[in-house]
Structures are given as structure tokens and as C-alpha cells.
């Protein structure tokens, strides 16, 4: 196999010598080649072809039972010095990591085929875009990458003889948990993933490249790679404002990105357009504004809970050319099902482990789909995909939102005073553990900018990079924090969420335009209850007032917790953030 780029040639040759596959196949992106791979995966049982009338182009895959989620404990940032990975990442010295990994990869593809996937994160040729080469022995990975990224010969043509690409080597090996490693080498533009076949660990364009490697590249090159959705909010006058928003995993990013406005808003002409649901690459434009692209080409969404009410746009996205992972197979009509899809679980079914799933299992509370089961759906399937989804220049941001899951502390929404305060608000993002997760309830986990598992370098340097970006962004977006998860004394949610989140987005946009009011509190600007449009919602301004309170005692506790988190960063903590924390404390006195 011959490549124009010497770097690609060397990477492929060395990886073939190490993994010794029987065959090497270049993925050219042609439908013919992909169709042959789908047929092969079906013949070996790696994928199940679903009902082609009801779900055209759709397939089901089941992972190994020990391999169902990203594994943060086995994810490493491998650098020369530990300080460069920082206190929030697992670290391995990079030469030692290469040595250890090479032993595991040795001969790992014997009897298998190695697929060479040239892919672009971002529209091919966009100035924001970056190229990767993933080598994998999994057809499932190939077919998912084809949905999630732009794949094929056109990418190699764009790369030409350049060596500027990210190397990704994935081998399933024995799916051995003890030898599972997801290693990023940001200093070498390299990713090595072994002994897993699950999405986030093996679709190397996503978390490994578009966040961990890209965040490092962004710092070198003066841009930002963020764990953010991007949406366009169209107003009745036809103008569209763009918002990027960061939330920890499992806080409803995909739902917010595809929000359907409540009837009263829809009637007036408000619409939401999805640009991205998970990752944003952000650069500063010549006009001093921030511009964002979604580097992905599809959605790797959580299936359970997705339904015609919670997210009709996501559901519609999965009705064709989609790969389902670890959901229920309905054997009566060869379609799929998951908990929370509807109230009619299939009578005859196979669960995500491949076992019969019976009425008795259901009565005993045995779940049919894995809670982290997924759909991989092409972005262009989404009924509300933005017409600027492919815009090579990105979309200009008017607001950046941070959010988390807090029962009491954070109000429904508040606005930061300025850029540095906004960065501070992002840096103190946190979620509380819920009863649904194992372990103690109400424990605060700090997840700055939702990047805790995804920042490819020292978190203190990352904060400093954000602060420094403020000098370049002369036309600054405004920063906000939202919390859809505030509860009453009995633990009931106080805010309906979903489509009604539009009411908060509306206030946010009006704040960026200077047409909505707010009051100053110790933590920032909070709306007056009457500033939130409640038309058509069965809530009083008093209910809203309850959602907007800022309890100084709780915030003092939180400030102590932030202090503890910041202490971990040592001298790397930017002075500007130290100052913001001191201001918060003073405001609370």
C-alpha cells in the first residue's frame, strides 16, 4: 500500500510490522466497499441487519459484556513529564507507555484484517479541520467512523504529502480488561487504544482526538477544543443566534442541542437548529468574535430515555443508516427497543447481552438495553440540523453556557460578570451524584468545563489558556451557568426541563442583546422571576423565584470545595481565577 505522505507510509508500515495482520485494506469511502464490509460483518455475526423496511440501512451490534463504556481509569495522557499531564489526568511516562503497549500490540492482528481509515474532523478542507488516520481491526469501528467523521480518499488527497495528521492505532486484541489501555500521546499526535471494542474507547476521532489531542493542539495553536454542543436559536425576525454549551456526560446535551420550543414560542416563530451535540472547536475570527464548528459528522447518543417526547429529533435521526449498540432486539419484527423508548417492550426479544429477554426478566427489573447503549446516527438525518452545519468558517458565538446537576446550590440560570468571571464559572462546574449511580448521593464532583476526563494537558494550563484567549476575543460572547436539576425538599425536580429550557435560552439571548433585566447577586447576574417568559407553563413567578435563590450558606460551602479543587492545581492555577474565588468569598460575607 503506497501513500503520498511519508508520515502515513511510515505509520502504516510500522503498525503492520507490529500487529502482523493477514491483510491491510484502505477505506476509500466508497459505498461499494462499505456495503461489502456490512455484509461481511453480518456473515460473522459482528452485526445484525435490522428490518430494512422499518429501519433502512440500520444494524445492531453487541459489545463484550465487560466492555460497555469509556474507561477513565484506564485512560492515560502519556507525556515526557508528569507535570504536563497534570494532577487531574492518569499519566504514564511516554517511552515507558510505548514499550508496554508494543508488547500488547505485538501480533495482535494475526489472522485479522487491518483497516486504514483516513478521516477528517471538520468538513474536508475547512481551515478548522484536522486529519487523522485510524488503523483498526474492527469493521464495527470502520462503519461507525464513516458515520461520525468524513472518511476516504478525499481526505488523503487533502493531506497530500503532509505529515500533519493524528496517528491512531486500535486493536481489539482479546478485549481483556486487565490489558485495556486508551493512551493519548499529545506531544506525538498519537493515540493507542487496545483491548476494547466500545465506542468512546475506539472511535478515536471523538474523545481521544477531538478533545484530548485537540485541546493540546488548541493551546499550541491558539484555539479551543471543547466538550460543548452548538445550537442556533432562530428568532421570529429570522435572525439566528449561536450558543455553545458544556455539560458533564449524562446531563442532556443531545436533548438541549435538538430542543423543540414550547408551543407558545414555536407559534411566534422560534426554532432551534443543531450544529453539534458533543464537541466544539472554537477559533477567533478576523472580526474578533469566537467561531465554532462541530468537528463530528454524526451523533453517538445514549439510547435509553430517547423517545418521541424527550427528543423526537434524535429519535428521527436514528430511523435510517444507524448503528445501534447494546440495545434490545425485537425478534418479532427485527427492530430495536430500549428502556424509555415507549411503554411497550417487545414480547419476544433478545437483550443487550444476547440472551432471551422475557416477561419474567422484565418483572424482575432486568434491563433489556444497557444503560449506556447507543445509536450512531448521521447528522444529516436530524430534522433540525442547522444549514450551517458544514459551514467551513463555523458559526459566531453570542453565548457560552456551562451547566451541571446541582440539587440546591446553583440557581436555574446566572450570568457571569465578564470574561474572567466566565472562565471561573466554567472552572467550578460540578455535578452531584444521583441515587441512580452507585455510591453516595449528593457528592459533588468538580468537572471543569465538562473537560475533566477529556483535557489532554495540565488543567491549570488549560485554565490559563482560556484566560489568555480573552485578550484575543475582542467581541466577547457572554457566559452563563444553568442548572435544570434543582429539587425541592422531597427531591422532586422544580423545573420541567426539555423544551421548556427554551425559556432560559430566551433570557440568555435577550441578555446578549441588552433587552432583558437581571439583578446582581454574589455569584453573578440572576434574572428577576418576571424576566423569564412563562407563557403556557403551569408555574408561578413564585415557583421561579424559588429556582433563582442564591443561598449564601451553601455557596460558602461550595467555595470551600472549590478551594480544595484549586489547591490540587498548585502554582498552575492562574492568578486571575484565584482572584475570582477571592471575590466570590468576599461577596458572600
Considering CB distances under 5 to 8 angstroms, the limit depending on partner class, which of Mn ion, ligand OXD, none binds residue 200?
ligand OXD
C-beta of residue 60 within 8 angstroms of C-beta of residue 369? no
- Largest interatomic CA distance in the chain: 69
Q: What is the CB neighbour count within 10 angstroms for residue 480?
A: 26
Min dist CB 249 to Mn ion, Å, is 5
Considering the complex, what minimum distance in angstroms separates the CB of residue 1 from ligand OXD?
A: 32
| DSSP label at residue 205 | I
Cβ at position 200, least distance to ligand OXD in Å: 5
Number of residues that bind Mn ion (CB under 5 A): 1
- For residues 87, 93, 94, 99, the Cα torsion angle rounded to the nearest 10 degrees is -140
Residues in the chain: 589
For residue 220, the minimal CB distance to ligand OXD (Å) is 24
Site string for ligand OXD, 171-190 (x = CB under 6 A): --------------------
249 is a contact residue toward ligand OXD (CB under 6 A): yes
Residue 251 annotated among the catalytic residues of the structure? yes
Q: Which of 29, 132, 200, 298 binds ligand OXD (CB under 6 A)?
A: 200
Please state, in angstroms and as integers, the Cα–Cα distance from residue 247 to each residue in 153, 204, 264, 420, 485, following that order: 35, 21, 27, 19, 12
Report d(CA 31, CA 497) in Å as an integer: 40
- Rank residues 61 and 511 by Cβ distance to ligand OXD and give the closer one: 61
Least Å distance between CB 278 and ligand OXD? Answer: 5
Q: Which of 19, 58, 183, 251 is catalytic?
A: 251
Distance CA 147, CA 134 (A): 14
Query: Is there binding between residue 278 and Mn ion (CB under 5 A)?
Result: yes
Strand bridging mode 374-378 / 323-325: antiparallel
When CB distances are held under 5 to 8 angstroms depending on the partner's kind, the choice from Mn ion, ligand OXD, none that residue 390 binds is none
> Closest CB to ligand OXD belongs to which residue?
249
Would you say 279 or 397 has its CB closer to Mn ion? 279
Q: Does 278 bind ligand OXD (CB under 6 A)?
A: yes
- Dump the DSSP string for 326-374: S-EEETTTTEEE-TTS-S---SSEE-TTSSB--HHHHHTT--SS-TT-E
Closest approach of Cβ 451 to ligand OXD, in Å?
10
3-state SS class at 247? coil
Instruction: Tell me the number of residues near ligand OXD by CB under 6 A.
Output: 4
- Give the containing element (helix H, strand E) for 538: none
CB closer to Mn ion out of 278 and 390:
278
Q: Quick one: 142 or 246, whose CB is closer to ligand OXD?
A: 246
Which is closer to ligand OXD, CB of 26 or CB of 228? 228
C-beta separation of 357 from 367 below 8 A: no
Spatial distance between the Cα atoms of 435 and 557, rounded to a whole number of angstroms: 22
Given the complex with Mn ion, which of 278 and 500 has the nearer CB atom?
278
Which residues form the catalytic set? 251
Binding positions for ligand OXD, rule: CB under 6 A: 70, 200, 249, 278
Binding positions for Mn ion, rule: CB under 5 A: 278
Amino acid at each position: 500500500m503506497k501513500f503520498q505522505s511519508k508520515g502515513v507510509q511510515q505509520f502504516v508500515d510500522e503498525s503492520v510490522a507490529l500487529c502482523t495482520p493477514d491483510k491491510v485494506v484502505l477505506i476509500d469511502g466508497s459505498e461499494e466497499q462499505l456495503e461489502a464490509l456490512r455484509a461481511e460483518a453480518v456473515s460473522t455475526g459482528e452485526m445484525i441487519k435490522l428490518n430494512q423496511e422499518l429501519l433502512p440501512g440500520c444494524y445492531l451490534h453487541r459489545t463484550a459484556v465487560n466492555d460497555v463504556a469509556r474507561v477513565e481509569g484506564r485512560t492515560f495522557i502519556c507525556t515526557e513529564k508528569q507535570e504536563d499531564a497534570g494532577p487531574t489526568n492518569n499519566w504514564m511516562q511516554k517511552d515507558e507507555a510505548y514499550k508496554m503497549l508494543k508488547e500488547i500490540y505485538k501480533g495482535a492482528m494475526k489472522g485479522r484484517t487491518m483497516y486504514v481509515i483516513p478521516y477528517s474532523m471538520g468538513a474536508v478542507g475547512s481551515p478548522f479541520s484536522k486529519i487523522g488516520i485510524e488503523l483498526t481491526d474492527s469493521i464495527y469501528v470502520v462503519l461507525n467512523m464513516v458515520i461520525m467523521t468524513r472518511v476516504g480518499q478525499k481526505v488523503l488527497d487533502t493531506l497530500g504529502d503532509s505529515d500533519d495528521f493524528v496517528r491512531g492505532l486500535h486493536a481489539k486484541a482479546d478485549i481483556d480488561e486487565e490489558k485495556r489501555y486508551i493512551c493519548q500521546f499529545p506531544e506525538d499526535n498519537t493515540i493507542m487504544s487496545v483491548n476494547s471494542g466500545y465506542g468512546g474507547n475506539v472511535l478515536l476521532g471523538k474523545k481521544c482526538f477531538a478533545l484530548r489531542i485537540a485541546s493540546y493542539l488548541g493551546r499550541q495553536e491558539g484555539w479551543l477544543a471543547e466538550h460543548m454542543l452548538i445550537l442556533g436559536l432562530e428568532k421570529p425576525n429570522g435572525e439566528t443566534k449561536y450558543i455553545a454549551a458544556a455539560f458533564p456526560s449524562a446531563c442532556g446535551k443531545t436533548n438541549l442541542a435538538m430542543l423543540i420550543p414550547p408551543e407558545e414560542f414555536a407559534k411566534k416563530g422560534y426554532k432551534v437548529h443543531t450544529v453539534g451535540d458533543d464537541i466544539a472547536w472554537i477559533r477567533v475570527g478576523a472580526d474578533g468574535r469566537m467561531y465554532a464548528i462541530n468537528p463530528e459528522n454524526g451523533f453517538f447518543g445514549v439510547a435509553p430515555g430517547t423517545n418521541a417526547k424527550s427528543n423526537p429529533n434524535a429519535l428521527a435521526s436514528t430511523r435510517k443508516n444507524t448503528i445501534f449498540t447494546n440495545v434490545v432486539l425485537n425478534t418479532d419484527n427485527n427492530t430495536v427497543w430500549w428502556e424509555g423508548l415507549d411503554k411497550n417492550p417487545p414480547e419476544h426479544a433478545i437483550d443487550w447481552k444476547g440472551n432471551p429477554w422475557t416477561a419474567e426478566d422484565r418483572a424482575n427489573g432486568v434491563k433489556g438495553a444497557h444503560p449506556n447503549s447507543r445509536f450512531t446516527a448521521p447528522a444529516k438525518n436530524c430534522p433540525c440540523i442547522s444549514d450551517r452545519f458544514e459551514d467551513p468558517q463555523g458559526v459566531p458565538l453570542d453565548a457560552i453556557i456551562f451547566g451541571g446537576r446541582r440539587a440546591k446550590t446553583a440557581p436555574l440560570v446566572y450570568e457571569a460578570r465578564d470574561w474572567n468571571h466566565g472562565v471561573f464559572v466554567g472552572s467550578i462546574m460540578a455535578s452531584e451524584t444521583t441515587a441512580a449511580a452507585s455510591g453516595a448521593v449528593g457528592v459533588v464532583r468538580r468537572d471543569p468545563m465538562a473537560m475533566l476526563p477529556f483535557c489532554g494537558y495540565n488543567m491549570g494550563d488549560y485554565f490559563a489558556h482560556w484566560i489568555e484567549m480573552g485578550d484575543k476575543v475582542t467581541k466577547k460572547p457572554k457566559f452563563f451557568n444553568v442548572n435544570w436539576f434543582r429539587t425541592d425538599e422531597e427531591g422532586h425536580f422544580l423545573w420541567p426541563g426539555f423544551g421548556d429550557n427554551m425559556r432560559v435560552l430566551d433570557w440568555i439571548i435577550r441578555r446578549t442583546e441588552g433587552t432583558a433585566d437581571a439583578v446582581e447577586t454574589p455569584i453573578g447576574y440572576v434574572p428577576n422571576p418576571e424576566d423569564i417568559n412563562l407563557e403556557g407553563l403551569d408555574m408561578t413567578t413564585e415557583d421561579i423565584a424559588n429556582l433563582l435563590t442564591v443561598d449564601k450558606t451553601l455557596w460558602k460551602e461550595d467555595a470551600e470545595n472549590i478551594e480544595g479543587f484549586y489547591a490540587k492545581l498548585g502554582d498552575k492555577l492562574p492568578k486571575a481565577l484565584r482572584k475570582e474565588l477571592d471575590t466570590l468569598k468576599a461577596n458572600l460575607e
